């Protein structure tokens, strides 16, 4: 019996299924309601040759915002938060298999509820791969009391000198001004030097574009247009002297 004559498309279907099994690509979301908000876990599993950061954009219901102090900055090359929208660039070194990051999203009122949605993309094996974040999407909170977002910060990493400490700082605002751009930040725990790095796109190198001596608290760092160049993504880190 000639199966190809009876089922002329079977061979194509089998090939497609076989190819789909070569890679385990995807990002899933799980949610755990907590007092005043929700703990979000983004888990991934990838195979093949990873050639860039994993960029994830999450869109939460209006009235929700990421609590900066809960973000695992040590796992990220960059991050950006604005209201209910958050973007994360996960380091390529963490993508050779399964992994995850977790953080907290708080809401302004206990009655605020809604659905989360998101997308992911990265370069693998010389091509751009992308998809939607799957899993749980309905967000609720357990209690009415909200403690707030907390201060920006992250796990301190030694620079190797034994005296200088690097701490990731979240970009809270992005403004185009005459002669360049301004990047805003909040909750810097102590005085130090903020270094701004720019990147042209996925898989490209990060380069320093500005640095400024800043006090603790909130503020902005200016980047001249000539230094912005072709950069489309930005990240900041705080350099402080270890006591």
Within 13 Å, how many C-alpha atoms sit on residue 28's CB side? Answer: 10
- Give the residue-averaged pLDDT of 46-56: 93
Q: Decide if pLDDT at 151 tops 90.
A: no
Higher pLDDT, 16 or 26: 26
% of the chain with per-residue pLDDT over 90: 30
The top-level CATH class assigned to 24-139 is mainly beta
pLDDT at 112: 64
- Give the residue-averaged pLDDT of 64-84: 90
pLDDT at 23: 41
Instruction: Name the pLDDT band for 15 (thresholds 50, 70, 90).
Output: very low
What is the 3 state secondary structure string of the chain? CCHHHHCCCHHHHHHHHHHHCCCCCCEEEEEEEEECEEEEEEEEECCCCECCCEEEEEECCCCEEECHHHCCHHHEEEEEEECCEEEEEECHHHCCCEEEEEEEEEECCCCCCEECEEEEEEEECCEEEEEECEECCEECCCECCCCCCCCCCCCCEECCCCCEEEEEECECEEEEECCEEEEEEEEECCCEEEEEEEECCCCCCCEEEEEEEECCEEEEEEEEHHHHCCCCEEEEEEEEECC
- Give the residue-averaged pLDDT of 218-232: 87
Higher pLDDT, 122 or 239: 122
pLDDT at 217: 87
Q: Decide if pLDDT at 2 tops 60.
A: no
pLDDT at 163: 64
Higher pLDDT, 2 or 7: 2
Domain 157-241 has CATH 2.70.98: no
Q: Decide if pLDDT at 161 tops 60.
A: no
Q: Do domains 24-139 and 157-241 have the same CATH topology?
A: yes
Cβ neighbour number for residue 171 with a 10 Å cutoff:
21
What is the 3 state secondary structure string of 63-105? CEEECHHHCCHHHEEEEEEECCEEEEEECHHHCCCEEEEEEEE
- Give the residue-averaged pLDDT of 167-195: 86
% of the chain with per-residue pLDDT over 70: 78
Higher pLDDT, 117 or 21: 117
User: What span, in angstroms and rounded, lies between the C-alpha atoms of 228 and 208?
Assistant: 10
Would you list the domain boundaries of the chain? Answer: 24-139, 157-241
Q: What is the mean pLDDT of the chain?
A: 78
- Give the residue-averaged pLDDT of 51-80: 91
Among 4-13, 49-58, 212-221, where is mean pLDDT lowest?
A: 4-13
Tokens of 183: 């990047």
pLDDT at 212: 85
């Amino acid at each position: 019996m000639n199966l190809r004559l009876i089922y002329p498309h079977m061979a194509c279907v089998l090939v497609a299924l076989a190819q789909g099994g070569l890679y385990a690509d995807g990002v899933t979301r799980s949610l755990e309601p907590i007092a005043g908000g929700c703990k979000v876990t983004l888990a991934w599993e990838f195979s093949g040759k990873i050639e860039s950061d994993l960029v994830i954009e999450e869109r939460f219901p209006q009235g929700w915002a990421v609590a900066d102090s809960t973000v695992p900055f040590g796992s990220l090359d960059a991050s950006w938060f604005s209201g209910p929208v958050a973007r994360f660039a996960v380091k390529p070194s963490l993508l050779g298999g399964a992994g995850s990051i977790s953080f907290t999203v708080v809401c302004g009122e206990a009655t605020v509820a809604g659905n989360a949605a998101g997308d992911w993309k990265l370069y693998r094996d010389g091509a751009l791969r992308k998809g939607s974040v799957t899993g749980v999407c309905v967000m609720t909170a357990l209690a009415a009391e909200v403690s707030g977002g907390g201060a920006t910060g992250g796990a301190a990493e030694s620079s190797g000198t034994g005296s200088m400490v690097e701490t990731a700082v979240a970009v809270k605002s992005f403004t185009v001004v005459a002669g360049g751009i301004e990047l805003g930040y909040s909750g810097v725990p102590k005085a130090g030097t903020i270094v701004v790095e720019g990147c042209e796109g996925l898989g490209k190198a990060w380069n320093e574009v500005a640095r400024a001596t800043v006090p603790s608290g909130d503020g902005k760092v200016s980047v001249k247009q000539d230094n912005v160049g072709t950069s489309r993504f930005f990240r900041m880190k705080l350099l402080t002297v270890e006591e």
